[in-house]
Amino acid sequence: MARLITVAVVDDDRMLLDGMRSWLGSVPELRLVATAATVGELLGAATGAAPDVVLLDLLLRDGSAPADNIRRLLHSGSRVLMISTVPDRARVIDAVRAGADGYLTKDNDLPTLVAAVKDVFAGHGAHSPELAFACAHDDSPSRPRLSPREREILLDYASGMTLKSAARRAGITVHTAKDYLDRVKAKYQQAGRPAYTKIDLARRVREDSLEGG
């Protein structure tokens, strides 16, 4: 039997919170355990284990910075799925860079939201059209420009393959594959986002939505 996923919602729109209670109450795999108008309110009222996934509104009326909210929730032990009224490209990128596992606009339907929550809980990230569009058009200096072969080796290696397996799949030598991977690491280092380990590289793949790009 699948584990029940606990969910909290942080949003200062009372109508949205009421709607979420109704929506999520109809999904047997999810349990809404808390709602709050601010991250501070949610964390201050916590009495047990942190929710598995927090649906976090991008812009709250308390003026809190989205990146700070994300980091506080991650530190508490929750994963974060951002929700917003508009797909603001720059803010999407900033949220993912801060550690959010996905981004959805509020006009999505319940099945899309449920699928996103499940993906976030599983550690896959919620690869929505909004997120894919933002990443595809991200030309900021912090996003390295990778060659097709660099990207291919990065994706295979970061997905769990050994470098030898990634090289074999690409039809190149292990030495050549290592050169490509070293170039990828150097580019992320130059962009101010160092990636020293396989876990770091997997994080960069998710942050830049490279799987679907």
Question: Per the structure block, which two tokens stand in for 161?
Answer: 């393959």
The answer on pLDDT for 212 being more than 60 is no
Q: What is the mean pLDDT of residues 169-194?
A: 87
Q: What dotted CATH number matches 148-207?
A: 1.10.10.10
pLDDT, tens only, 39-93? 999 999 877 789 999 999 988 888 898 889 999 999 999 999 988 886 666 777 7
Q: Are strands 5-10 and 53-57 parallel, antiparallel or unpaired?
A: parallel
The domain ranges of the chain are 5-136, 148-207
| pLDDT for the residue numbered 6 | 94
State residue 54's pLDDT score.
96
pLDDT of residue 136: 53
Tokens at 89, concatenated: 């490209």
**Thinking of the domain 5-136, which architecture would CATH place it in?**
3-Layer(aba) Sandwich (3.40)
Residues 162 and 174: their CA atoms lie apart, in Å, by: 10
Res. 2 pLDDT band, cuts 50 70 90: low
Mean pLDDT value across residues 147-164: 89
Query: What does the pLDDT read at residue 135?
Result: 56
